[in-house]
Amino acid sequence: MNLGQAIIEALESVSSNKLRSSLTILGIVIGVGAVIAMLAVGNGAQDTITGSISGIGSNLLFVFSGNQNSELSHVEPLTQDDAEALMDQFQAPSIDKVAPILSSSATVTYGGETDSPSLMGITSSYLDIRSWGLIEGEPITDDNNLGRASVALIGVDVADKLFDRREGIVGETIRIEGQPFRVIGVLESKGGGSFGSEDGVVMIPFTTAESRLIRRYNSSVDTIFVSVLKPELMSQATDEISQILRSRHRTKVGEDDFTIFSQEDFVNTAKTITGVLTIFLGGIAAISLLVGGIGIMNIMLVSVTERTREIGLRKALGARKRDILIQFLTESSLLSLLGGIIGIGLGWLIAFIVGKIAAASGTPFNPVVGWDAILLATLFSTAVGLFFGIYPANRAANLEPVEALRYE
């Protein structure tokens, strides 16, 4: 028996038992569909997160207090003086701008509406470093910081929640923790970033935050944003920042009480996390493929039992053991392949629906069905059919013709 004949006979067998074949294929369809959908969601999440982080800028460095890689009994917090020291062009010639920030959460009200956005205290250079524009209004200036002005910039999510619009808000007065602040601008939408959605934010002058709303011990700051003159100077800038802070904090190399992250570091971390998540989701989905394979083996065993006399007759007429083995393996592989093809379509449909739901909810998320996932699912489903078809096929091939013909 050649392969062509085996495929024709397999198709005839499958079509003669439509209900049983459909139920068998269903297990594979669900398994492959789940694998495709899970991998698409995982890849889409990875692309969305890394894209958002990449949008921050390729010449940005983030300096945080503390270091997970060293065990220090005392960690010196980052301060405003540290930020000012990084602005020294003699010690740090590759650094362009520096922006220390304070961050917290706050209750913001306007009229009868209430929101709980992130609250940030910023200097005039922060928006420039982040390349963050305004829909309307003007940014926070050095004069605002010198005068500890009660002014605020609000993100689009906050504008939507409090005002139900994004324009015509400048000049309105909101209350932050009960204190009045005049809105001087509405920020452009940034969407999701390395620290979550950045549109639910209210920004006020750094000095105002420090003196009235976000008090920190010893003039400490939460994060220092640093922009580098050129992307190719990132490594040099990192060394300059490290040397300055080691000198100020009196720490040795390897005992840093601060951490410097670049945009690339965030991207690599995000890829690692989402990669592990994708593998985990794909592994869970693959379990359903194995269940589908067990279903194929069960159905094929039933088929062997029902067709015992047919097998005996064929062997009596000269069919070899190899011919019977090829026939039943072809049937199981065909069932798996059909289930795999339909499952790919189902997985794509699920991914498409998830993307539409995400878009409708305002989340910039696009599941990605890659050719690698399609190829993997197809090969895996066929392999499942072959693997779980071996035992039934071998059992059929080993039947004795005389005993098979006597089977009732």
Task: Specify the DSSP class assigned to residue 91.
Answer: T
Give 304-349 pLDDT, tens digit per residue. Answer: 777 667 767 777 777 777 777 777 777 777 878 888 888 888 888 8
| Strand residue runs (E) in 188-252 | 192-193, 196-197, 201-205, 223-228
Could you count the other beta carbons within 10 Å of the beta carbon of residue 315? Answer: 21
pLDDT digits (tens, 9 = 90+) for 288-306: 777 777 777 777 777 777 7
pLDDT along the chain (408 residues), means of 10: 62 70 79 81 72 62 72 71 85 87 89 88 89 89 91 92 88 90 90 63 91 78 86 83 84 75 70 74 73 75 71 71 75 80 86 79 69 76 75 70 57
Cβ-Cβ contacts under 8 Å for 26 (sequence gap 6 or more): 292, 339
Structure tokens of 374? 């399609």
Helices (H), 224-370: 234-249, 263-306, 308-316, 321-360
Name 202's bridge partners: 119, 154
The pLDDT, as a whole number, for residue 138 is: 92
First to last CA, the chain: 27
Q: What is the pLDDT of residues 47-95, one digit of tens each?
A: 766 666 555 556 788 888 776 555 555 667 888 888 888 888 888 888 8
CA–centroid distance for 249 within its chain: 37
Choose among 119, 127, 81: nearest CA to 209.
Answer: 119
What is the reported pTM?
Answer: 0.61
Helix axes of 371-397 and 321-360: crossing angle, nearest 10 degrees: 150
Chain-centroid distance, C-alpha 52: 11
pLDDT of residue 195: 46
Hey, what are 1's tokens? 């028996």
Cβ atoms of 192 and 109 within 8 Å: the answer is: no
d(CA 271, CA 280): 14
For the chain, percent of residues with pLDDT exceeding 90: 11
Q: What is the mean pLDDT of the chain?
A: 78
Tokens, residue 49 = 């997160």
Could you give the CA distance from residue 348 to residue 360 in angstroms, rounded to a whole number? Answer: 18
Contact 404, 315 (CB under 8 A): yes
At 386, give phi and psi (nearest 5°).
-65, -45
**CA separation for the pair 306, 408 (Å, rounded):** 9
